[in-house]
Structure 1
Amino acid sequence: MDVLSDAITVMRAGRPHSNRHELRAPWGMRFTSADRGAGFHVVLQGSCWLLPPDGAPPVQLCVGDVVFLHGPGTHGLADSPTSPLADFDQRHQTAWPSGDGALSVVLCGAYLLNGGRTHPLLSEIPPVVRLPARIGRHSSLRAVVDLLGDELERPRPGTGALVPALLDTLLLYMLRAWYAERADDPAASGWTTALADPAITAAISAIHHAPERQWTVAELGARAGLSRAAFAGRFTALIGRPPLTYLTWWRMTIAARMLRESDTPVRVVARQTGYSSDVAFAAAFKREFGISPGRYRTTDPQDA
């Protein structure tokens, strides 16, 4: 099983969207994101400036640069750090205000994520990730950007189905690229190191492949090719929680998604996440979420 794909799958909510914009200076837009939001900007032509959240210094973006942003906050995108910003509203989107100066073409998109169940793998990613264009680096990411930009510039039969799929692919490639950049850092730790550690990834993959199995630390250590004590110490140091604690967290995450997105009976959810007793499952679920499985299923996601 692919841990990064699993992490994205359990966090994804709603439908991603994107737009291609041709803008002439002066222009500027302000984007406001809630806890559950994530988005990206890609410069296809010309250049522009990213005005990061929290008043950080402006960053110039050039052709091929990709920026990924997540979490709450407000940021801007403009032809100049001093250009006025107009609020961007995806729900009532109109043409961006622009002038008659230099042309910039930017690709912008957004995702809706379940911020309440952020996988710890993603919690290490900073609020703003810039992936500058470099020859020979992240060619697959560039290829997806080209495909997405082409579909948005020239819609054809099938574009409606292709764009969401390309957006999902782009999200994975952006995160993969960030982890690849981090892996080159000698000071990297946590999930960055874990993803490059065959022993730990073998154990995590086993958990993700069969969360219903009654795993022991010794069995997971055997999957990792390590002694029980060595495995437990290494796993906890990199993942930030002991192996069986992570197993429980992952089981509860799967259970919550099944309850929210399907009509699967609670007893079946319990079995598929490793609980032979409905009572034991309900108790574990309530410890994690503060409410019973049945109530969670009927509670508005915003209130859960």
Structure 2
Amino acid sequence: MSVRDLDVPAVPSGSGDAVADIVADVVATIRRGSAIYCLARLHAPWGMELEEGAVAGVAVITSGACWLVPEGLEPVQLVQGDVVLLPSGVAHICADQPGRAARPLTELIGGPLEEGMPNRLVIEGDGPVTRLLIGAFLLAPGPPHPLTAVLPPVVHIGAGQSRDRGLAAAVELLSCEVQRADPGAPAVAASLLDLLFVYILRAWLAEQHHASEGWVRALYDPVVGSALALIHDDPARPWSVDLLARAAGTPRATFTRRFRTLTGQAPMAYVAAWRMSVAARLLREHRGSLREVARHVGYDSEFAFARAFKRATGHPPGRYRTDAQEHRTSL
């Protein structure tokens, strides 16, 4: 029996698995399309530059070393085994050393990231070689999830720094898969890159939550984290503050105050916002009717859903879907 079959849902444990599920949900709603990636073999001297844009970047240093120079921030040295994520698309340079002249990444790969990447990127030279696995996620239009607002411009997980065995396993699997020429390897690699994105965020959150407030702490809070997991698990359920408070085993007033303090939103405001995030993803990625999308996020009335969606995103759902399809076709 699932939580959908129960009058009052069982409270999740608030474990790392629950946090990973919520983070995976958020990642799925903020990106559009599949992840893109390439393997890079770069001989010094070299430098690559990426302008600010609606792209979240991720890199794994598989051998050698290099420097990441985010715009307006201090340079970060990266060594073999390090993983780095730039979740908001901050402009940056990656080079064999700070101050190196850099070529635009779009020039090196022969076009904009929206059109994909080559499987291999090679810069020849006489100096030491650095090998990178470079990935990118195109960010979806629409209101960002509040979790993204607390993320730093650069999430750097040093080799051996994280205790998350899943992160190490994802890096190893992905590094192996991108070098294969087997049928289906690109689809597998894209899925693993999605998984890597989630594991990087989970590893960073696990390091931060003891000293953090707000959304980071909310994920691990036994009351608020449980409620978030329930909302994410079944956005269509007719949630109420009373139902969520009972499920969390907390008085209504205490639950409401705690939820608002940690997330910055009232419980039902978050339920409404999350439903619209899920709906936007369904409109971008699936062909179900607007009525089906509405029912999936808890609306019996297609008209009420359309009104709520336009209020949240600025666009009617039909127009939003058409624009997303036209954008995909133009790539």
Matched residues in 1 for 2:325 and 2:153: separation? 23
> Residue 38 of structure 1 aligns with which residue?
56
Matched residues in 1 for 2:307 and 2:69: separation? 46
Matched residues in 2 for 1:85 and 1:135: separation? 29
Find 2:165's aligned residue among 114, 139, 144.
139
Find 1:27's aligned residue among 40, 46, 52.
46
- Matching residue's letter, 2:312: E
> Residue 165 of structure 1 aligns with which residue?
191
Matched residues in 2 for 1:136 and 1:295: separation? 43
Q: Does 1:17 align with 2:43?
A: no
Q: CA offset at residue 136 of structure 1?
A: 6.5
The answer (yes or no) to whether the contact 1:30–1:77 under 8 Å persists in 2 is yes
Q: Which moved more, 1:218-227 or 1:281-290?
A: 281-290
Q: Which has the higher contact order (CA 8 A, sep 6+)?
A: 2
Matched residues in 2 for 1:180 and 1:123: separation? 17
> Residue 155 of structure 2 aligns with which residue?
129
> Residue 221 of structure 1 aligns with which residue?
245
TM-score, with structure 2 as normaliser: 0.82
Matched residues in 2 for 1:126 and 1:164: separation? 24
Distance 1:98 1:77, change over 3 A: farther
Q: How well do the aligned residues superpose, as a CA RMSD in angstroms? A: 2.3
Matched residues in 2 for 1:137 and 1:271: separation? 40
Matches within 5 A, 1:54-93: 54=72, 56-89=73-106, 90-92=109-111
> Residue 23 of structure 2 aligns with which residue?
4
Q: CA offset at residue 157 of structure 1?
A: 4.6
Find 2:279's aligned residue among 245, 255, 268.
255
Matched residues in 1 for 2:89 and 2:51: separation? 8
> Residue 311 of structure 2 aligns with which residue?
287
Find 2:65's aligned residue among 47, 51, 64.
47
Distance 1:302 1:148, change over 3 A: same
Matched residues in 2 for 1:157 and 1:212: separation? 37
The answer (yes or no) to whether the contact 2:44–2:127 under 8 Å persists in 1 is yes
Matched residues in 2 for 1:74 and 1:180: separation? 26
The answer (yes or no) to whether the contact 1:199–1:223 under 8 Å persists in 2 is no
Runs of 5+ consecutive residues of structure 1 not aligned to the other structure: none
Q: CA offset at residue 47 of structure 1?
A: 1.1
- Matching residue's letter, 2:70: P
The answer (yes or no) to whether the contact 1:24–1:99 under 8 Å persists in 2 is yes
Matched residues in 2 for 1:7 and 1:18: separation? 21
Matched residues in 2 for 1:175 and 1:48: separation? 22
- Matching residue's letter, 1:246: Y
The answer (yes or no) to whether the contact 2:41–2:121 under 8 Å persists in 1 is no
- Matching residue's letter, 1:106: L
Q: CA offset at residue 300 of structure 1?
A: 4.4
Q: CA offset at residue 160 of structure 1?
A: 2.4
Q: CA offset at residue 197 of structure 1?
A: 1.1
Matched residues in 2 for 1:182 and 1:26: separation? 36
- Matching residue's letter, 2:76: V
Matched residues in 1 for 2:90 and 2:325: separation? 21
Q: CA offset at residue 17 of structure 1?
A: 1.8
SS of the residue 2:51 aligns to:
strand
Find 2:204's aligned residue among 139, 163, 178.
178
Find 1:242's aligned residue among 244, 266, 275.
266
Percent identity over the alignment is 42
* Number of equivalences: 299
Q: CA offset at residue 95 of structure 1?
A: 4.3
The answer (yes or no) to whether the contact 2:142–2:313 under 8 Å persists in 1 is no
Q: Which moved more, 1:157-166 or 1:233-242?
A: 157-166
Q: Deviations over 1:151-191 (max 9, x none)?
A: 3345445422321121111111111111111124x2x0112
Matched residues in 2 for 1:273 and 1:242: separation? 18
> Residue 11 of structure 2 aligns with which residue?
none
Distance 1:82 1:198, change over 3 A: same
Distance 1:104 1:231, change over 3 A: same
Find 2:302's aligned residue among 256, 278, 294.
278
- Matching residue's letter, 2:57: G
TM-score, with structure 1 as normaliser: 0.89
Runs of 5+ consecutive residues of structure 2 not aligned to the other structure: 1-17, 112-117
